Amino acid sequence: MSEYDAGFKAALEEAKQGAKEGGIPIGACLVDKDGKILGQGHNMRLQKDSATLHAEISTLENAGRLPASAYKGATMYTTLSPCQMCTGACLLYKVSRVVMGGTYISASQNNTFVGGDKLLKQRGVEVVNLKNAECEGLMKKFIDDHPEDWYEDIGDAPKKSQ
Ligand SMILES: [Zn+2]
């Protein structure tokens, strides 16, 4: 698993597309066991006033209705550590592996976004963190510019000490 994977490149392109649209810059891509892209998407919360369209959910939605066998051995690439909702969706469909571009850690280190990494591992899903500077940079810029939109996205109240 690396930054050269087609799935990762597609997820990063989706994140950039999200940024271009003024949205939260997180992208994802679902790749099957043979390396075929089943779907890709980006966070549409702001664009669609959606409560659920995180990048991973957009991706599953864009991949469409699939039989359980399609997810067997599949990899969900996402540019950011998945939240609990997206972790749940990956577990539900039994995706075998989650490859994340990175985790976001603020300059003050007190609002680390810890997603579902631990739960995924506990449930036998392989988790790879590529610690990609571009993914983390996109998030850092967005959170610095729009902290309120970010906290809303992860179901949190804005922090006062930004
Ligand atoms: Zn999510």
Sign of the alpha-carbon dihedral angle for 82, 47, 51, 74: negative
Q: How confident is the model at residue 103 (pLDDT cuts 50, 70, 90)?
A: confident
Q: Report pLDDT for 156.
A: 82
Q: Which residue has the higher pLDDT, 106 or 60?
A: 60
Q: Report pLDDT for 72.
A: 96
Q: Which of 123, 83, 122, 78 is nearest to 98 (CA)?
A: 78
Q: How confident is the model at residue 151 (pLDDT cuts 50, 70, 90)?
A: confident
The partner residues of 31 in beta bridges, in order of sequence, read: 37, 75
Pick the catalytic residue: 3, 14, 21, 56? 56
Q: Report pLDDT for 154.
A: 85
pLDDT at 17 over 90: yes
How far does the centroid of ligand 1 lie from the alpha carbon of residue 33, in Å?
A: 23
pTM over 0.75: yes
How far does the centroid of ligand 1 lie from the alpha carbon of residue 58, in Å?
A: 10
Q: Report pLDDT for 157.
A: 79
How far does the centroid of ligand 1 lie from the alpha carbon of residue 26, in Å?
A: 9
For 111-142, the pLDDT digits (tens) are 455 668 889 999 999 999 999 999 989 998 99
How far does the centroid of ligand 1 lie from the alpha carbon of residue 67, in Å?
A: 22
| Other CB atoms within 10 Å distance of the CB of residue 8 | 26
Q: Report pLDDT for 105.
A: 61
Q: Which residue has the higher pLDDT, 162 or 87?
A: 87
95 CB-near residues (< 8 Å, 6+ apart) = 30, 71, 74, 75, 76, 125
CA 107 to chain centre: 21
Active site residue 56: yes
For 45-100, the pLDDT digits (tens) are 999 999 999 999 999 999 999 999 999 999 999 999 999 899 999 999 999 999 99
How far does the centroid of ligand 1 lie from the alpha carbon of residue 36, in Å?
A: 23
What does the angle CA 133 – CA 5 – CA 103 come to, to the nearest 5 degrees? 35
